[in-house]
Homo-oligomer: A and B are copies of this chain.
Amino acid sequence: MVLKLSTTFLRTLREDPVDAEVASHKLLVRAGYIRRAAPGIYTWLPLGLRVLSRVEAIVREEMNAIGAQEVHFPALLPREPYEQTGRWTEYGEGLFRLKDRKEADYLLAPTHEEMFTLLVKDLYNSYKDLPVYLYQIQNKYRDEARPRAGLLRGREFIMKDSYSFNIDDEGLDEAYMAHRGAYLKIFERLGLEVVPVFAQAGAMGGSKSEEFLHPTAIGEDTFVRSPGGYAANVEAVTTVVPEDIDFSQLPAFEVLDTPDAPTIDTLVAVSNELRPRTDRAWEAKDTLKNVVLAIIDPEGNRHLVVLGVPGDRQVDEKRLEATIGAALGINGEVGVEQATAEDLKSHPEIVTGYLGPALGLDKQLLGKDTEGGITYLVDPRVVSGSSWVTGANEHGKHVFGLVAGRDFTFDGTIEAVNVLEGDPAPDGSGPLRTERGIEMGHIFQLGRKYAEALELKVLDQNGKLQVVTMGSYGIGVTRAVAALAEAYHDENGLAWPKQVAPADIHIVVTGKGAELLEAAEKLANEFEAAGKEVIFDDRPKVSAGVKFSDAELIGVPTIVVVGRGLADGLVEVKDRATGERRDVAVAEVVAELSA
């Protein structure tokens, strides 16, 4: 059906909405695709719904192509399954919770691992039933602290989420790779550049995980790429661990008075003054900073931990939250805070600003082997034989040349600090470069976490019950529409790629006279008969200028102008993206553009 603008429910705006920061948000609102209903909650108007349904169709086709089967779960779900996996509490304030009239607890689902697990448990009981891949395209809810950027981070949004169920790890690998392949195809078909980057599985549990990031300056996620193609989320970059160093020839450590050096900067300055190096100046990376943190487990208990990290690095709390639970043997989501005076009450041995691990192996202060010692974890760069300037556990004193493995030990290493532009890439191809991106998709090898919590077991070939292994895979469908708008626009408006555009042809009629309108309408019908979708700007009393700028704003790939040239049998064809214009004979334009 030709979409006539004279009757289409559409009002384009000249001004950007006041709450909009990013181009996709501004343009989707201005061009009449979406409208805000509440913070982070949007209404789809007719043009927006068209783009959305085209994106959904591409996602659906590629999911079906790998044998995934579509189902549809409710968004309103009971508490119990999420209680069983611990996510009812782990999700914290991000979960919309409510009660029904009988005071039973419900939630608006942020993702559906639990429900899919229970459904498969409900229907299947044998290894012969597996593998099975299930998916849905469905509304999700997350009570974001700061919903922002229009559709990019909303509180009600559409996701495609799928789940794989296999009897063994090889099966899970296959399912994971099938989804990975489908995702790459989906983004390629959408025309959306993505980089698959290694990611921390985090709160989802499980082992292997990759994010599909669309590189853009407005992205919320930072990731790193190497010249050789390695890419990882900053929380998941693996540090290139230096070789152990032979410490047999290193001089003994030395404790020096370093008054007024409680920070890394002052310590570096004092070191260069007090004990200048012969090879080069002291730098922050030569110091070992010991940070006391409180880790809060899901039950709210506080666990003290000291992290020893090179002085040029910051502890990345998000990264630490993803790794520290496993390091301490805590299940579920953990919180990280600076230790408080209260936390430190029972540790009078800690001298703030001058904390160090030891002064020799017989004077170890930190670590679980020490009586009353706090767990001591270090950055992977703290290898055996590495030598450090660090605190001497006495006010105004630091120790120089304290050697790991010779003078102090630790309980383990942990990936917890920020990545720096120029760090060596794990693939050995050179220095890492940092970039920003939007997370468009995420794939996880969940493993058996959910199946164990919810007791999804099937009989194996030997008639024994086996816990099923699972994967979970998500694409932000709403977000894909926004990312496409980010990637395909210019200063005049949107410029959709044809596979997701709300129409193929936008016909503008300019000038007065019934014959122009008639000719344009005839063209519109002919395009439609040729299988093209048409927007027809037939609005009376709207100037040609407004019609042109609306066409640019709406962003259909091809604009056909029916105007003065018609007297000579010509219409103008304009490519929205390139701006290229040419005259085409009206008798040939349908055949040409449909070819």
Contacts and interface: CB of A to CB of B under 8 A. Distances in A.
**What is the interface residue range for chain A against chain B?**
35 or more
Contacts of A43: 71-74, 115, 119
A115 B78 contact: no
Contacts of A139: 75, 139
Contacts of A73: 37, 43-44
Interface string A559-590: 00000000000000000000000000000000
A120 to B, nearest CB: 8
A67 interface: yes
Interface in A90-111: 93-94, 96-98, 100-101, 106, 108
A141 B11 contact: no
A97 B98 contact: yes
A72 B47 CA distance: 11
A9 B123 contact: yes
A344 interface: no
B132 A9 contact: yes
B9 A78 contact: no
**What's the dominant secondary structure at chain A's contact region?**
mixed
A1 B70 CA distance: 13
A155 interface: yes
Looking at A7, A78, A100, which has the most chain B CB atoms within 10 Å of its CB? A100
Interface in A128-144: 132, 134, 139, 141, 143
B101 A143 contact: yes
Looking at A41, A74, A98, A132, which has the most chain B CB atoms within 10 Å of its CB? A74
Nearest to A78: B38
B67 A45 contact: no
A93 B101 contact: yes
A70 B46 contact: yes
Contacts of A8: 69
A328 interface: no
A119 B93 CA distance: 30
Given A44-B73, A96-B98, 6 more contacts: A9-B69, A35-B123, A37-B115, A46-B69, A76-B141, A100-B143
Interface of A: 1, 7-11, 32, 35, 37-38, 41-46, 49, 52, 64, 67, 69-78, 93-94, 96-98, 100-101, 106, 108, 115, 119, 122-124, 132, 134, 139, 141, 143, 145, 155-156
7 contacts: A9-B71, A37-B74, A38-B78, A46-B69, A74-B156, A76-B96, A93-B101
List the 10 closest pairs (A to B, CB-CB), nearest first: A98-B98, A44-B72, A11-B123, A93-B101, A38-B78, A41-B74, A74-B156, A9-B69, A46-B69, A43-B73
